[in-house]
């Protein structure tokens, strides 16, 4: 049941990503399918047939709107990443230094495992020789 829900979520996210990637080709397809309707009803130059616009003005306006929206989203994502980066860095350093290691540092005054390693795998393998 859990695997099925994960598949549904993955397919949903994949379809959203594909829609985002295919916006411009789908816009061209929509234009080609509805060309007669666009020329007759939506074209700005429909009253001036000598220009031979054939709905290109409508298509250009839609493409410009999509391009502008993508640029706004890219700028917004960049700003969010700039704001979020220090918080993620702080969270990484907080996660990489568990409380029991801090207590060990306070008790002994030093630590021999790297603070950048998450978990105790490295400290189980790499340690000073044990003198019995």
**What is the Cα–Cα distance from 45 to 42, expressed in whole angstroms?**
9
* Reported pTM: 0.51
Q: What is the pLDDT of residues 27-58, one digit of tens each?
A: 889 999 998 898 888 888 878 878 888 888 88
**Per-residue three-class SS string for 85-98:** HHHHHHHHHHHHCC
Residues of the chain below pLDDT 50:
none
Of 97, 89, 87, 103, give the one whose Cα is nearest residue 120: 97
């Amino acid at each position: 049941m859990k695997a099925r829900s994960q598949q549904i979520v993955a397919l949903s996210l994949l379809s959203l990503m594909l829609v985002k990637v295919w916006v411009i080709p789908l816009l061209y397809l929509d234009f080609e399918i509805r060309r007669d309707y666009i020329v007759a009803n939506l074209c700005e130059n429909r009253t001036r047939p000598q220009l031979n616009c054939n709905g290109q003005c409508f298509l250009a306006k839609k493409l410009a709107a999509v391009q502008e929206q993508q640029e706004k989203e890219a700028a917004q994502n960049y700003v969010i990443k700039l704001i979020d980066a220090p918080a993620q860095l702080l969270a990484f350093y907080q996660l990489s230094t568990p409380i029991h290691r801090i207590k060990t540092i306070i008790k002994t005054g030093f630590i021999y495992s790297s603070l950048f390693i998450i978990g105790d795998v490295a400290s189980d393998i790499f340690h000073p020789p044990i003198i019995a």
